[in-house]
Structure 1
C-alpha cells in the first residue's frame, strides 16, 4: 500500500512511547477536550490514541489509509479524507483542541501557519525535520521567518531528536519533536506590522540591518531608519524588543 505524499512512518517503539507520554502530559497541562492528528497514515500512533481519548479527528490526505484508520477508530472519532490545508477548522474549539502530527517536510510551514498562526490552537506536539525544529524553538540562536511567526503566540520547546532510522522508509535527514504551548500574553507588538517588516528585510537576511536599511531606502521599497547598535545586527540576531523598537521608531 504505497503512499506518494512524502510520508515517513515512525516505527521505533521508543519514540512512540515518548510521543504518547507527552500527549498525556499535554492533556493534564491544557485540559483539552479534542485531539487532532494530522497525517495518521498507517496508524502507528493513532492505534494507541483511540482507546485513551474519546474525541479525535484524523486528517488524512491519502485515501489508501482510510480503511486502516476506520478499522480501529471508535464511534465518536472522525476521519476527514482530504487536504488539511484546505479544511475549515471553525467547528473546533481552538482553546480545547490539541494538535499532533508527523508532518511531511515539504508542507511544514503551511501546516504550522494553518494551525498556530491563523487558527491559534491551544498547543501541539509536532514531528518535523530536525533543522526546522532547531530554527523555530523559542531559544534558537538563529531565527527563521517561521520562528518569528510562531513565537509571537507560542513557547516552542525542542523535545527530542528522532533519528532517520526510526522511520520507514528511512528519510535522508533526522527529525525532532517540538512542543508548542500557547502564551497567555502575546507580544506587545502588532503581528501584521511584524510580518510587513520581515517581508521587506528577510530578502536581504545575510546583511546587517544598517545595510538593509540603506538598500531598501535607495530602492524606494520602504523607509526604515535603522541606526545605532541594532544596525550592526543581522535579522537572525534580533529579539522582540529590537523589532518593536524598529517598528515603533519608524512610526514617528
Structure 2
C-alpha cells in the first residue's frame, strides 16, 4: 500500500459516498475530455473512466504512484498518464481537438492557490474545473464584497471564472484524515469578461496593493499607485477598505492606472 507523503501534501480520498457525490456534481459524459490532477490511488479515476468510456488524462507528480495506476487500470488503453508537476505542466499539450478540457482534482493544500493561477493561463481551453480544496480556500474563492473571506484570491479568480461552493467534505473522508475540513468548488471560465481590464497585470497589482494591509483604507494602501483625488474621481470613497469594493471597482482603478501610466 502506498503511504501518503507529507511533502506532496497527500490525503487520499476513500469515502464511497463522497466519491459518488463528487462524480455526480461533475457529471462526466462519454466523449468529453476529462483531465484529473493528482489521481493518487485512483479513487476518482475509476468512476471517471467508467463515465467517459475509458478516456482520461491524469497528471501525477509522485513517481511511485505511476506503476500502481498503470497496473490498476491496465485495461484502459485510453488512460494517458503524465508524470509531471501540475504547477509547471503545459496543459495546452492535452488539447488535440476542439473539445474543451474538464479538469478535476483533489488538490494538495500547499499548492492549490499557485496551481489555480497557473491554470488561468489555459482558461481559453477549459470548460470547467471541479476541485477539492481546503474549505477556507473555497470560501475565499467564492466570497463576495464585504465577506471576511473576500480578498485577492477570490477577486482574481472571479474576474476570470464563475465560482460556486458545492459542498463540504469532512476529514474522515480521507486517509490520513487532514486537520481541516475540505470543500468542492466549481469554476467555469467566463466566455466574456463582464468588466474587462485594459491590462490584467495592472489589475493584479492594484488588487494586491489594495489588500496589502487589510485594515487600512484605499487612500493609504493605494498611495504608491494613485492619489486620493484620483480614487475619488472614479466615484469611489478613498476612506473605504478594499474588502468592500466590487470587481468592477477594482477594474476601474486598474484602468485608471493603465491610462495614467500610458499618457505619462
**How far off is 1:32 after superposition?**
7.0
For 2:142, the equivalent position in structure 1 comes to: 137
Residue pairs, 1:194-209, within 5 angstroms:
194-209=203-218
**Aligned-pair distance for 1:70?**
0.8
The 1:95–1:222 alpha-carbon spacing in structure 2 relative to 1, beyond 3 Å, is farther
Correspondence list, 1:9-24, <5 A? 9-24=12-27
Distance across 1 between alignment mates of 2:254 and 2:84: 40
1:61-93 Cα distance to aligned partner (Å, 9 max, x none): 111211221123310111111212121222233
Q: 1:102 maps to which residue?
A: 106
RMSD: 2.1
* Separation in 1, partners of 2:179, 2:49: 31
Q: TM-score w.r.t. structure 1 length?
A: 0.87
Matches within 5 A, 1:20-39: 20-24=23-27, 27=29, 33-39=32-38
Q: Quick one: structure 1 residues 98 and 32, their matched pair in 2 at CA, closer, same or farther if it must change by over 3 Å?
A: farther
SS of equivalent residue, structure 1 residue 205:
coil
The CA deviation at 1:146 is 1.6
Name structure 2 gaps, 5 residues minimum.
none
Using the TM superposition, give the Cα deviation of residue 41 of structure 1 relative to its aligned residue in structure 2, in angstroms: 0.6
- Which residue pairs with 1:242 in the alignment? 249
Preserved contact between residue 153 and residue 187 of structure 1 (Cα < 8 Å):
no
2:41 corresponds in structure 1 to: 42
Post-superposition offset of 1:153:
1.6
Following superposition, the deviation at residue 192 of structure 1 comes to: 2.1
Secondary structure of 1:233 counterpart: coil
Unaligned runs of 5+ in 1: none
> 1:86-143 CA deviation, whole Å, 9 max, x = no partner?
212222338611000000100011111121x211122110000000100111646232
- The count of aligned residue pairs is 241
